[in-house]
Amino acid sequence: MNEKKTKNETWEWIKALLIAFGLAAIIRVFLFTPIVVDGISMMPTLEDGDRMIVNKIGYSIGKPDRFDIVVFHAPEQKDYIKRIIGLPGDEVEYRDDTLYINGKPMEEPYLDKYKKEVTEGPLTEDFTLEGKIQSKVVPEGHVFVLGDNRRKSKDSRHIGVIPIDEIIGSTKMVFWPPNDFGFVK
């Protein structure tokens, strides 16, 4: 009788572990996944090596918002992390280190600290959307993205607009290293 109880208990543990692994796999594949920031293109907001959680369900039930930090499949068969600047139908222009969306100047408070550190020239060079992607507006179903480190970022100025269906998800939370733990803007 004792041997049967041990087998039942072992089987219950195996089932519990299988269920736990199954749930973890479902959560990782469909809901949330970790990502490691690779490079300096999002500095000073994100540092090389920061570990973040990507929300994969946000855009399946909602739409991207301007200034969201997103992870997407880039044309180079690599995942990039950048900030959404232009939404479908937007005119995007940079003039005198100021972002203009549909002709209106936009605040970018996440760049304030970095702009103060720049001593030579603007942080972001002047450009128009038409000059970068040969279109006056961001096409339907696409977004225009930039890295916060505007001088050292390979973004929509170089690779073009990003199809919304190539966006894996948005990210707002750094969980490692501990001194960077928290939400980013």
- Half-sphere exposure of 28 toward its Cβ, with a 13 Å CA cutoff? 8
- How many helices (H) and strands (E) the chain has is answered by 5, 12
| Residue (of 63, 41, 56, 78) closest to 142 by Cα position | 63
- DSSP H helical ranges for 27-135: 58-61, 112-117, 129-133
Catalytic residue among 4, 5, 7, 41: 41
156 counts as catalytic? no
60 counts as catalytic? no
Catalytic residue among 56, 82, 132, 170: 82
Positions marked active-site: 41, 82
